[in-house]
Amino acid sequence: MTALGNHIIVEYMGCIPEIMNDVSVIEEAMVTGAEIAGATVINSTFHHFSPYGVSGVVVIQESHLAIHTWPEYGYAAVDLFTCGEMDAWISFDHLKKVFGAKNYSALEMRRGALNLLNRVDFDMHSMREEAKKHVNPGKYTRNVWFTDKDDNQALSLRHTGEVLYDKDSDIQKVRVIDTYGYGKTLTIDNMFMCTETDEAHYHEMISHPAMLSHGNVKRALVIGGGDGGTIRELVKHPSLEKVDMVEIDANVVEASKLHLPTLSSAFDHPKVNLQIADGIKFVNDAAPGTYDLIIVDGSDPVGPAEGLFSAKFYEACKKALNDNGLLVTQGESPMFNHEVFAELNTCLKGIFGKDSVNTLLFHIPTYPSGIWSFQIASKGNINPTKVKEDLAGDFEKNNALKYYSSALHGAAFILPNYIKKMLNE
């Protein structure tokens, strides 16, 4: 041995972009690469940066393997630092194959040349005795993080590293991961959609304020909502006779049925008519006055959901409502998506009338900024901010609701001054 360690600095080029943006595949590849080279894995820590990039390190008994990727360039920068008998070139070959790299450059350096170092005398016996207290248990700690961010802020959740569901359709990528803090989590195109722990915040507030203020919804339409949480809440209301649910991607429904049973429990309910179809076309083709309530439970205004944030779509929704109908639509965050939030409010007021649109706020920890909104538009005389307290109170108790309450109903429509100013401008 002429040096304390061996350091291989690698640049992988021409890699598969989808893999370069896949934190779970990269973490598994790095861990496996270490193990097949003879290393003992102590810990792995990986972050996914939405929409692009993964950073991570695998700590091994023999030192470490580290990586950062730029998916948009098909590029990965990797450090393989080893001590002892481990052959890091085995790890190099494995990563090159997994990443699908077309080209690479690699620089190997000896670190800690012994002819330049002098050994220091110290109490080796006591150090060995202390080290016995920290024996590797044989099962390494995984520290894998999923991150949803924009240019200015981010939310990260630690998960097990396993991907329970992973399918791509022509329109989006659907995954289910298992987080430590919030349970199983549905993600679409690397954005959080819902978690087991706080999904009730969203689904109770998108459903019950409108249902209870209306008081007699018999026929409802849900656009999107493929996780099943919204229809689960709707069928709790005795007045409901039928709910049409139109989800564009069958993978979302399948993922929820397989891994999110507490959300997907109503898919087989006799009042539910599930259709895998384009919700925009469905509304355009709906007969005038068909529905008492329309709920637009879509994702952010990108990809297949982009058309759900247009005046043409909401005009079609208004036509499909009866003369005393309500429209509820996912309204984004006034902090995180303030432009879309304000533009949507203006759009709805232009279609339904200035005094016929109300904004409802609620708290949800796993959505960027923690505050989210629904916009409720009225076609008729129903005021969604008002509810009979005894009716709402009985419903709340009978269904053991987690978030909605009769007291919260009116309070949810009270807007902070900064939001009032934003909407007035």
Q: Is 172 annotated as a binding residue?
A: yes
Q: Is 227 annotated as a binding residue?
A: yes
Active site residue 299: no
CB 188 within 8 A of CB 298: no
Q: What is the 3-state secondary structure (H, E, C) of 84-124?
A: CCCCHHHHHHHHHHHHCCCEEEEEEEEEEEHHHCCCCCCCH
DSSP 8-state assignment for residue 300: S
- Residue among 7, 64, 79, 83 flagged as catalytic: 83
Q: Is 203 annotated as a binding residue?
A: yes
Distance CA 128, CA 411 (A): 63
Active site residue 409: no
Active site residue 68: yes
CB 376 within 8 A of CB 384: yes
Query: Taking Cα atoms as reference points, which of 349, 275, 336, 268 lies closest to residue 301?
Result: 336
Active site residue 297: yes
Q: Is 278 annotated as a binding residue?
A: yes
CB 212 within 8 A of CB 409: yes
How far is the CA of 326 from the CAs of 17, 69, 215, in angstroms? 44, 47, 11
Return the number of other C-beta atoms located less than 10 Å from residue 88's C-beta: 25
Helices (H), 37-177: 88-99, 124-131
Q: Is 409 annotated as a binding residue?
A: no
The owner of tokens 């920068």 is: 77
CB 41 within 8 A of CB 31: yes
- Residue among 189, 198, 292, 297 flagged as catalytic: 297
Q: Is 390 annotated as a binding residue?
A: no
- Residue among 24, 44, 50, 63 flagged as catalytic: 63
Q: Is 355 annotated as a binding residue?
A: no
Q: Which residues are catalytic?
A: 63, 68, 83, 297
Annotated binding site: 172, 203, 227, 247, 278-279, 304
Q: Which residues are annotated as a binding site for spermidine?
A: 203, 227
Residue ranges of the annotated binding site for S-methyl-5'-thioadenosine are 172, 247, 278-279, 304
